[in-house]
DNA sequence: CGCATGAGTTGCGCTATATGCAACAAAAGA
DNA sequence: TCTTTTGTTGCATATAGCGCAACTCATGCG
């Protein structure tokens, strides 16, 4: 007898399995074995094996001939590209990011909130040899980065509650783990119109973010610059934040937001 | 009675349906209705409806609140980003270079544009005793080699201007040193889809290059073959260029470039 | 304003089909 | 070489996905 999906789930389970398999791949673990997947997702080896061969037949995964493990396939690259091109913020923000990166000499990126996580839509890297690595599509917790906190600050009450509900995990000495502190912190962000993170997610990494508005005046994204603490120092924050805010406003106005 | 999948297909059909639905989205048709999908894929409306709700629950699609049609979701952005980061041109180009070298008997290499210079990322040498020496990491001016001219031809206007600004140095009798000539020459390259250099950088050395595209259709590298003028003769150029273009296209498709 | 048309969702019953098991095959160690 | 681990496949079973059709919303049109 199979353990049924939790009640209320009227979803196609084999499809759901396939999607969960795909989503279990990550930047850190780009290749997976059948048995690993079966183990981690609580599925039978044979189920995973068959699902993988279906995924492979449509180009969503492929078997690496060297490591003999599975990797994500080119179909996902195409589909990801379509998603990317659809977001008009992508188009509009690119030149602005470029200019900002030139001005401040730090990596800049655009992030949005998706299901209690921050997801990076786009980035432009600085050409400094020392830089902070992120990648498009990466997901981070929203309460520990400047872009995440910015998005959270302007998000609906329920989302903030849901994030707190799910628990605030400590990543560094400075991570905000006290729900009350987070709430007042978000209030400050709304008042000042920008957010910063001083080693709250990764040691030695600081960032500054500002909100991007759409034509309805809704916050739809955050623009952030990220860099090592030696370069993004607290003393430089006022000047840098002005530039970040100005760039974010620039994108907002391209999105149809008028003051 | 359902029409079964074509015999020999031992794939999970509901998963396959889901994947086919995803793949039916394209740059030109980024949003789809249930009934359209059902029609075009020969599936029942209810099947599509249920599949879509499963895909939506995992963030692979979402319903556009305005058009009320489905669009590809952010999960695909994440997964596409992972594929993208893995797709280093090194791995993908190596076997193709090998085959090309075997076919044409000349040294082949991959080059990219870096800060107004051409840099050679990778090469596979032919086993001919007489060969042209290059090495990985070598930098050359972009206006006097076939790979450099290819990259320049598809580069941004500013880069071309910057290269001209820095001056066109004469290396041989045939080096293009007239800015106007260079600009029209680059236009020709774009029209033909490949470039050649006849003793423009080193006396006695000819080369042929073609562009390599990434999944966004952007030119990210050039593939070139280099050899002594006795072997890469103008009369052989048409046949050789075909092979170079075909190899370059092969790499492009491995990088996720479709058509 | 109400009727008609079309698109999407959902309950139901049937059986096609995805699953678990276990045997098998194929690598990878030892 | 033998052992161990990992992936694939045949088979029987019952689950779960499918088509059908009724139903609900939207949308358009007279």
Residues of chain B neighbouring A84 (CB-CB closer than 8 A): 77, 80
Query: pLDDT higher for A1 or A102?
Result: A102
CATH number of A13-74: 1.10.10.10
Task: Identify the band that residue A26 occupies on the pLDDT scale cut at 50, 70 and 90.
Answer: confident
Task: Identify the band that residue B131 occupies on the pLDDT scale cut at 50, 70 and 90.
Answer: low
Q: Does A16 touch chain B (CB under 8 A)?
A: yes
pLDDT digits (tens, 9 = 90+) for B240-253: 999 999 999 988 88
Task: Identify the band that residue B164 occupies on the pLDDT scale cut at 50, 70 and 90.
Answer: very high
pLDDT digits (tens, 9 = 90+) for B43-61: 888 899 999 999 988 889 9
pLDDT at B4: 32
The span from the CA of A169 to the CA of A156, in Å, is: 21
pLDDT at B88: 65
> For the ranges A49-53, A99-103, A143-147, B10-14, which has the lowest average pLDDT?
B10-14
pLDDT digits (tens, 9 = 90+) for A117-133: 898 888 887 777 666 66
How many other CB atoms sit within 10 Å of the CB of residue A31?
17
- Express as a percent the part of chain A with pLDDT over 70: 90
pLDDT at B134: 65
pLDDT at B173: 93
Nearest to A23 among B15, B25, B75 (CB): B75
The span from the CA of B183 to the CA of B195, in Å, is: 13
Provide φ and ψ at A246, rounded to 5°: -65, -40
Tokens of B102: 């075997």
Residues of chain A neighbouring B215 (CB-CB closer than 8 A): 74, 77-78, 81
Instruction: Please work out, in degrees rounded to the nearest 5, the angle formed at the alpha carbon of residue B74 by the alpha carbons of A250 and B67.
Output: 80
**Residue B32 contacts by C-beta under 8 Å, 6 or more apart in sequence?**
B24, B25, B69, B70
pLDDT at B149: 96
Query: pLDDT higher for B206 or A85?
Result: B206
Highest mean pLDDT among B85-94, B111-120, B122-131 belongs to: B111-120
pLDDT at A258: 63
**Sequence spans of domains, chain A:** 13-74, 87-254
Q: Looking at chain B, which residue has its C-alpha nearest residue A76?
A: B80
Task: Identify the band that residue A195 occupies on the pLDDT scale cut at 50, 70 and 90.
Answer: very high
Identify any residues that bridge with B211 across adjacent strands, giving them in sequence order: B222
> For the ranges A25-29, A84-88, B163-167, which has the lowest average pLDDT?
A84-88
Q: Is the CB of B4 under 7 A from strand D?
A: no
Tell me the CA–C1' distance in angstroms for B67 and D29: 21
Task: Identify the band that residue A177 occupies on the pLDDT scale cut at 50, 70 and 90.
Answer: very high
The span from the CA of A116 to the CA of B65, in Å, is: 20
Task: Identify the band that residue B6 occupies on the pLDDT scale cut at 50, 70 and 90.
Answer: very low
Q: Is A116 exposed, middle or buried (0-12, 13-18, 19+ CB in 10 A)?
A: middle
Q: Is the CB of A45 under 7 A from strand C?
A: yes
Query: pLDDT higher for A64 or A45?
Result: A45
pLDDT digits (tens, 9 = 90+) for A249-258: 988 877 767 6
Q: Which of B10, B12, B56, B92 to mutate to test the interface with A (most CBs of A within 10 A)?
A: B12
The span from the CA of A96 to the CA of A156, in Å, is: 27
Q: Is the CB of A7 under 7 A from strand D?
A: no
The correct answer on CATH 3.30.450.40 for the domain covering B87-254 is yes
Mean pLDDT of B146-152: 96
> For the ranges A14-18, A84-88, B131-135, B145-149, which has the lowest average pLDDT?
B131-135
Q: Is the CB of A46 under 7 A from strand C?
A: yes
pLDDT at A243: 94
Nucleotide nearest to A17 (CA to C1'): C18
Spell out the CATH class of B13-84.
mainly alpha
Identify any residues that bridge with B224 across adjacent strands, giving them in sequence order: B109, B209
Residues 139-158 of A with CB under 8 A from B: 139
| pLDDT mean across residues, chain A | 85
Nucleotide nearest to A5 (CA to C1'): D16
Q: Looking at chain B, which residue has its C-alpha nearest residue A123?
A: B81
> Does residue B137 have a pLDDT over 50?
yes
Q: Is A13 exposed, middle or buried (0-12, 13-18, 19+ CB in 10 A)?
A: middle
Q: Which of B31, B76, B88, B216 to mutate to test the interface with A (most CBs of A within 10 A)?
A: B76
Q: Nearest to residue A47, comparing CAs of A87, A78, A2?
A: A2
Q: Nearest to residue B79, comparing CAs of A29, A216, A195?
A: A29
Query: pLDDT higher for B133 or A143?
Result: A143
> Does residue A241 have a pLDDT over 70?
yes
């Amino acid at each position: 007898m199979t353990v049924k999906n939790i009640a209320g789930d009227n979803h196609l389970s084999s499809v759901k399995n396939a999607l969960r398999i795909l989503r279990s791949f990550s930047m850190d673990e780009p290749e997976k074995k059948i048995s690993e997947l079966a183990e981690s997702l609580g599925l039978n080896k044979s189920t995973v094996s068959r699902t993988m061969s279906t995924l492979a037949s449509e180009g969503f995964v492929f078997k690496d001939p060297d490591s003999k493990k599975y990797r994500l396939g080119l179909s996902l690259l195409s589909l990801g590209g379509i998603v990317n091109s659809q977001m008009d913020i992508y188009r509009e923000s690119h030149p602005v990011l470029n200019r900002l990166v030139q001005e401040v000499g730090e990596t800049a990126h655009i992030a949005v909130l998706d299901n209690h996580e921050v997801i990076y839509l786009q980035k432009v890297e600085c050409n400094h040899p020392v830089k902070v690595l992120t990648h498009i599509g990466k997901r981070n917790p929203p309460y520990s980065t400047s872009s995440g906190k910015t998005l959270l600050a302007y998000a609906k009450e329920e989302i903030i509650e849901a994030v707190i509900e799910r628990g605030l995990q400590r990543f560094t000495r400075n991570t905000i783990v006290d729900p009350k502190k987070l709430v007042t912190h978000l209030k400050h962000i709304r008042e000042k119109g920008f957010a910063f993170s001083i080693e709250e997610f990764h040691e030695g990494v600081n960032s500054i973010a500002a909100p991007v508005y759409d034509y309805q005046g809704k916050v739809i994204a955050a623009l952030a610059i990220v860099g090592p603490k030696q370069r993004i120092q607290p003393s430089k924050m006022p000047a840098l934040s002005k530039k970040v805010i100005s760039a974010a406003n620039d994108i907002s106005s391209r999105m149809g937001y008028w003051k």
